Amino acid sequence: MLVATIMDGKALAARVRSEVAEDVRELGGLGLATVLVGDDPASQIYIRNKHRAADEVGIAATDKRLPDGTTEEELIEAVEELNEDDSVDGILVQTPIPGGIDEARVMRAIDPTKDVDGLHPFNAGQLYLGEPTYVGATPLGVIALLDEYGIQLEGARAVVVGRSVIVGKPMAHLLLQANATVTICHSRTLELGARTREADVLVVAVGHASLVTPEMVKPGAAVVDVGMNRTEEGLRGDVDPAVADVAGYITPVPGGVGPMTIATLLRNAVRAARYRRGVLAFPRT
Binding-site ranges for ligand NAP (CB under 6 A): 138, 161-164, 166-168, 185-189, 192, 205-208, 226-229, 257-258, 261
> Which is the catalytic residue, given 111, 117, 200, 238?
117
Contact 61, 32 (CB under 8 A): yes
CB of 103 to ligand NAP, least distance (A): 11
Nearer Cβ to ligand NAP (166/282): 166
| Of residues 89, 101, 81, the one with CA closest to residue 61 | 89
Please say which residue, 123 or 138, places its beta carbon nearer to ligand NAP.
Answer: 138
Could you confirm whether 117 is annotated as catalytic? yes
Nearest alpha-carbon partner for 129 in 143, 118, 115: 118
Least distance CB 139 / ligand NAP (angstroms): 9
Residue 237: half-sphere exposure toward Cβ, Cα within 13 Å? 24
Residue closer to ligand NAP, measured from CB, 206 or 275: 206
Find the shortest distance in angstroms from Cβ 110 to ligand NAP.
18
CB of 253 to ligand NAP, least distance (A): 8
- Looking at beta carbons only, is 71 or 187 nearer to ligand NAP? 187
Which lies closer to ligand NAP via its Cβ, residue 60 or residue 235?
235
Q: How far is the CB of 104 from ligand NAP (least distance, A)?
A: 13
Active-site annotation holder among 8, 64, 89, 94? 94
Residues annotated as catalytic are: 50, 94, 117
